[in-house]
Structure 1
């Protein structure tokens, strides 16, 4: 009897020490107010996400690393703010190289070093190098902003036509720590290249320019470039293809390597423009095609979690769901005007802006038996924190030259602390304008939004707010007293503005905002 008891205790200890699976689900351009568990006025009921929030933890002060996708995704993968690269904008077409250099430790590489099988399905958008028939990297220079659309199209398509699709991509996801990848180079349905990458190659190359006359026409169907289309690429099917890949991976992993933990990064097209929900979701809501797209995103999350439960993996899987930045300008304006749905509610600003609506995003964490049900965290966190958190989960140390802006939020997830993990949090825009958060105070080291131009037109009427001291060189807000960032206190509290600017400069100069590691 004693021997049986000892064996039971030993096995229980092994189970307790078993490394958990990690599923990270990243939406594209999903706003804080797009989910019904965040916005009681949302026009789409996101039942699956609401249930996960009810069974797990909902963060009310979570932030994307940037207000646009490419830098946010770099920062998630590395735990490092992308402004440190001095890279402006986002990638399109076959432009590269990958922003992640060979010497930089990535989230999937760190997990793979600790025994994980790693997979990513969906949008990459951190840059890739493509080779021509001579094996030379295709250089694509970004045309000036005022370049005519037809000239931009000509430059982008010429580069895509030069690609030798038989040659491997030398700096894609498989070179950054992933064992498996299936997805797209950049934005799946709005880019110059409409083709799938499988591993490190595009097996079905593009053959013709997309016929936009065959695509849906509505208020959310813009932002679709006249790019080259592969025969197996259907705009409305993209997210269902990504879903099938993730579900197949989970089935295969359970069948072949169930004793090994996995890290799965499911990176969606939803809900980035154009809003092309799959046919089975069209008309599912009373909020138009974009509302249907939000509904489809919620469905996909539900199917991934359902698969975990079916395979008996749920009890040992941490699921984190978030977005790469706030909602798009046109999306938000049209949804507000036509359906009274505000994807940024209750914050000021949208995608590209350094105001809260540009980077405060929904974030839900679900881990049965570990994260307390119906818990809400008001702690300030950033998606850069995923890397240090995962390192803590697998009990490994990060070197000083990695994850320089990443904090371990595992104690928050496990309900082990109420003390602030982050004293300061950095934010950046597409133009590399910066801001810094400290408690209730937020200092923006620039005038204006840092992203969108609110000087006139529909955006000013629909999304603009009167801002005091608009001519001030910088902005200072107390988010507790002024969550909509209307009352600029730059001149009233110059000492706080100076202190925060000095701290921002310190973090820029030192190359890190997280403490040095031993």
Structure 2
């Protein structure tokens, strides 16, 4: 009997051990929050000069690591998000610029595998709430075809300019469909509420939450109660002088654009705080990586004033530029016990590295033909075994722009159809503001980087982004 008892006890202990071992090996949750056109200098943790309060983002940075040389996929939203989702640079991506979602060429194809698809296939519940921008409901790039179990928000970036609208889109019955909404509701609130529901519903299993919020992109519009926080008792703006913005294109009029922009950034901060608080309340913080960044640099549309708010921080340029202000974005990563606390890291990496990095964090396979590299070691405060030799971008609005960084060197190429090219060279270590073009004094470096720039790209498969005519 004693031997039977001992064997039973041993079996019970082994069973308990395997249960505990299984619990400790739970795959981590990942929450990836993407702001829309938030500048590097709009968060106090990255720029003490920012006059807008961002207490929740500042706390997130203090509880994790901030990366000060992290790059967006591009300088506008759709191609940047394509790089994030597929792991390709602008030298190889299918979507290399903005275009209407109704234009089938702006949508991801059936063969374009996304980060969400890979995590979904690895047992993750996947949800996206906010702005997609990579395919409408009838395209091969619709959210339900690209790895998301749940989606609620905008499909098209133009539609996402409207914070009060009569419709959004949602995955219902396994399909992405249009759903009517109350035109008096601020869509940011609706989107964040859906994200909160998703976390609550999936708290007991590994989940990937992609939260591409639409603020603080133009138009500059917030509910009155949020605007009042940045107004004086008499209703005037606390951020003087104000120059009223008159309705133009997609953007509605705004009497106090400075106050409205500040309110939108502060609203973004509040919503991030709500997500972090929920993760803590549910006891998920030790199992959850929280990433926060922006899709590109600060914008100057709809009355936005990036100079007034020092939105680009120490950098030159804004959205649509390939200077650092257009592509260098803030990144905060928080994961207690996994990511160093209160650290700042200047190692360069980019959107296309997110897919393989998440692969390492979650035990998810990574395709071998992408441009991205696994930078998961960086999240532990270590140097990755392999890093990029260089980083490359291209963008075409009013002529072709290309940029390449290698170490501290940066080459920018400008080319308009029928005109000679122009090359600019900067040393980012000595000239972070890219004020002094030193191409004339460094012909050998220009030649080396120019050769890499040619090596970094292939002609676009997508005729919508075929810019070969500009090269003539």
Distance (whole Å) between structure 2 residues aligned to residue 310 and residue 279 of structure 1: 30
Q: Secondary structure at the match of 2:441?
A: coil
Task: Identify the residue that residue 473 of structure 1 maps to in structure 2.
Answer: 422
What displacement does 1:407 show? Answer: 1.4
Task: Identify the residue that residue 161 of structure 2 maps to in structure 1.
Answer: 190
Task: Identify the residue that residue 177 of structure 1 maps to in structure 2.
Answer: 147
Distance (whole Å) between structure 2 residues aligned to residue 509 and residue 197 of structure 1: 35
Q: Report Cα offsets for 1:51-93 as digits up to 9, x if no partner.
A: 0100001010011010000100111110112453575642336
Please state if 1:79 is matched with 2:47. no
What displacement does 1:12 show? Answer: 4.6
Question: Superposition pairs for residues 146-165 of structure 1, below 5 Å?
Answer: none
Question: Superposition pairs for residues 16-415 of structure 1, below 5 Å?
Answer: 16-85=24-93, 89-92=97-100, 94-97=102-105, 99-128=107-136, 130=138, 171-187=141-157, 188-190=159-161, 195-199=167-171, 200-204=175-179, 232-234=182-184, 237-254=186-203, 258=204, 260-285=205-230, 286-287=238-239, 288-330=259-301, 334=305, 336=307, 340-401=308-369, 404-415=370-381
Compared CA separation, residues 174 and 232, structure 1 to 2 (3 A): same
1:53–1:374 Cα contact (<8 Å) kept: yes
2:37–2:217 Cα contact (<8 Å) kept: yes
Compared CA separation, residues 274 and 391, structure 1 to 2 (3 A): same
Compared CA separation, residues 12 and 504, structure 1 to 2 (3 A): farther
Q: Secondary structure at the match of 2:161?
A: coil
Distance (whole Å) between structure 2 residues aligned to residue 251 and residue 405 of structure 1: 35
How many equivalent pairs are there? Answer: 417
Q: Report Cα offsets for 1:430-462 as digits up to 9, x if no partner.
A: 4452211111001112269x9xxxxxxxxxxxx
Task: Identify the residue that residue 233 of structure 2 maps to in structure 1.
Answer: none
What displacement does 1:13 show? Answer: 3.4
Distance (whole Å) between structure 1 residues aligned to residue 19 and residue 383 of structure 2: 29
Q: Secondary structure at the match of 2:74?
A: coil
Q: Report Cα offsets for 1:480-518 as digits up to 9, x if no partner.
A: 01111111121211111111111222221499xxxxxxx
1:97–1:171 Cα contact (<8 Å) kept: no
Compared CA separation, residues 16 and 196, structure 1 to 2 (3 A): same
Gaps of 5+ in 1: 131-168, 205-229, 451-470, 512-518
Gaps of 5+ in 2: 1-5, 231-237, 240-258, 461-472
1:315–1:369 Cα contact (<8 Å) kept: yes
1:428–1:434 Cα contact (<8 Å) kept: yes
Q: Secondary structure at the match of 2:92?
A: helix
* Structure with greater proportional strand content: 2
Compared CA separation, residues 83 and 71, structure 1 to 2 (3 A): farther
1:94–1:129 Cα contact (<8 Å) kept: no
TM-score by structure 1 length?
0.75
2:130–2:214 Cα contact (<8 Å) kept: yes
Task: Identify the residue that residue 382 of structure 2 maps to in structure 1.
Answer: 416
Distance (whole Å) between structure 2 residues aligned to residue 352 and residue 359 of structure 1: 9
The correspondence for 1:434, drawn from 402, 424, 428, is 402
Distance (whole Å) between structure 2 residues aligned to residue 318 and residue 510 of structure 1: 36
Task: Identify the residue that residue 158 of structure 1 maps to in structure 2.
Answer: none
What displacement does 1:191 show? Answer: 6.2
What displacement does 1:252 show? Answer: 1.2
